[in-house]
Homo-oligomer: A and B are copies of this chain.
């Protein structure tokens, strides 16, 4: 691991008051992000909200360009929205003349995404999961078979789950879908700024607050230019960017993107993968708890199946209250088609150390 990057990342932000192993929930913002938000709010108070917004337009355009750069796209439109959840909602409402009728997804699809489909009356179907309870990796061939049986309007793929740190084979699934002429929408909320987000998918959406450690209340949806033909639509999807929003949060997101690009996305990625690998190695020795991912999975999202009879929600609460350690308890509602029980999610960022993870391991051992 690049300890320079670790030190840099740590120095860029306030000292943690708690041991924060929860970047998959919300990363810790940097001083630059906090300053960007605060400076914008101050400008709103002295110049008026809309004068300040006009002055921030260039900053937000740069943010949009950074999103495209991280996706590896030469052209596309980027709408800044309230959150990843909001992004999916707006994407579907802006899909075309009508909502898509059917969406095909993996068995491990994020539960709240399925709820958005249901709320808007969009039908959805899951590909057969050949690896149920196994490695959490959907089989691209299963997408091909499912599409051949009943062609969906689009395939929705969550590039990295909320419930497991296994990187999904996005490009393989996209290849299969595009061969069949089916557009692919990727939920990059957990993957953006974390694992490689370059993709040939048609639409990608994500959030500010997780691995990029921008503020809460901002997200994006990116639509590749000219996908209408592939999508079989009369025009490219046009998710409406909300005019009334926290522009300060968007400006903070812009600062987080700029810092990420400046640090080097590849270096951040490598650092997070190394931290995830090391974390799993350390936690694999913990009696009773089972690491869900392959130990060398190239992500910093680490999930632990609890010992029999142990409730991760209770463990999470005690870790905060008694040990000052922040993690997430992920219930089956996060991936109702795949999870068989709740897990404890540990998601360190670059500033975490072996000693931090040892501290978590000791706390878990005490609880056990």
Contacts from A to B (Cβ < 8 Å):
13-18, 20, 22, 25-26, 28-30, 34, 37-38, 41-42, 44-51, 82-86, 93, 119, 207, 209, 215-219, 242-249, 320, 326, 328
Known: A82-B244, A245-B216. A48 touches B93 (CB 8 A): no
- Alpha-carbon gap, A244 to B245, bound state (A): 13
Question: A41 touching B37 by the CB < 8 A rule?
Answer: yes
Which B residues are CB-close (under 8 A) to A83?
A: 242, 244-245
- Bound CA–CA A25/B247 (angstroms): 14
Q: Which of B209, B247, B320 is the one whose CB lies under 8 Å from A216? A: B247
When the two chains form their complex, are residues B34 and A41 in contact, meaning their CB atoms are under 8 A apart? yes
Assembly CA distance A248 to B16 (angstroms): 18
Of the A-B pairs whose beta carbons lie under 8 Å apart in the complex, a sample of 23, sorted by A's number, is: A16-B46, A18-B46, A26-B48, A28-B46, A29-B45, A30-B45, A34-B41, A34-B42, A37-B41, A38-B41, A44-B215, A51-B320, A82-B242, A82-B246, A83-B242, A83-B244, A86-B242, A86-B244, A93-B119, A216-B244, A217-B244, A217-B247, A248-B249
A211 to chain B, nearest CB (A): 13
Kindly state the separation between the CA atoms of A16 and B149 in the bound complex, as whole angstroms: 64
Question: Which residues in B have their C-beta under 8 angstroms from that of A15?
Answer: 46
Query: Are the C-beta atoms of B26 and A215 separated by less than 8 Å?
Result: no
Q: In the assembled complex, which residues on chain B have CB atoms less than 8 Å from the CB atom of A242?
A: 82-83, 85-86
For A42, the chain B residues whose CB sits under 8 A away are 14, 34
What are the residues of chain B within 8 A of A244 when measuring CB–CB? 82-86, 207, 209, 216-217, 219
Of all A-B residue pairs in the complex, the 10 with the closest CB atoms, nearest first, are: A217-B246, A26-B49, A83-B244, A17-B46, A246-B246, A48-B326, A29-B45, A28-B45, A14-B45, A246-B249
CB neighbours (8 Å) of A29 from chain B are 41, 44-45
Which B residues touch A326, using CB under 8 A? 47-48, 50-51
CB neighbours (8 Å) of A25 from chain B are 48-50
Determine whether the beta carbon of B217 is less than 8 Å from that of A248: yes
Minimum CB–CB distance for A192 against chain B, Å: 15
A34 and B45 contacting across the interface, CB-CB below 8 Å = yes
**A207 contacts which chain B residues (CB < 8 A)?**
244
* Chain B positions within 8 Å of A34 at CB level: 38, 41-42, 45
Q: Which residues of B contact A20 (CB under 8 A)?
A: 47-48
Known: A25-B50, A29-B45, A82-B82. 9 other contacts (CB 8 A): A22-B48, A25-B49, A26-B44, A37-B37, A38-B38, A38-B41, A50-B328, A217-B248, A248-B249
Q: When chains A and B are docked, how far (Å) is the Cα of A83 from the Cα of B246?
A: 9
Closest to A27 in B: B49
Q: Which residues of B contact A218 (CB under 8 A)?
A: 246
Partner of A28, one of B44, B209, B215, B217: B44
User: Complex formed: what's the CA distance from A26 to B25 in Å?
Assistant: 31
Partner of A17, one of B38, B47, B82, B209: B47
Which of A50, A215, A246 has the largest number of chain B CB atoms within 10 A? A246
CA distance A332 to B45 in the complex (A): 28
Collect the chain B residues with CB atoms within 8 Å of residue A243's CB: 85
Q: Which residues of B contact A209 (CB under 8 A)?
A: 49, 244
User: How distant is the Cα of A51 from the Cα of B26 in the complex, in angstroms?
Assistant: 10
Q: List the B side residues contacting A217 at CB < 8 Å.
A: 82, 217, 244-249
Chain B residues with Cβ below 8 Å from A47 are 16-18, 20, 326
A274 vs chain B, min Cβ distance (A): 22
Q: Whole-angstrom distance from the CB of A246 to the nearest CB of chain B?
A: 3
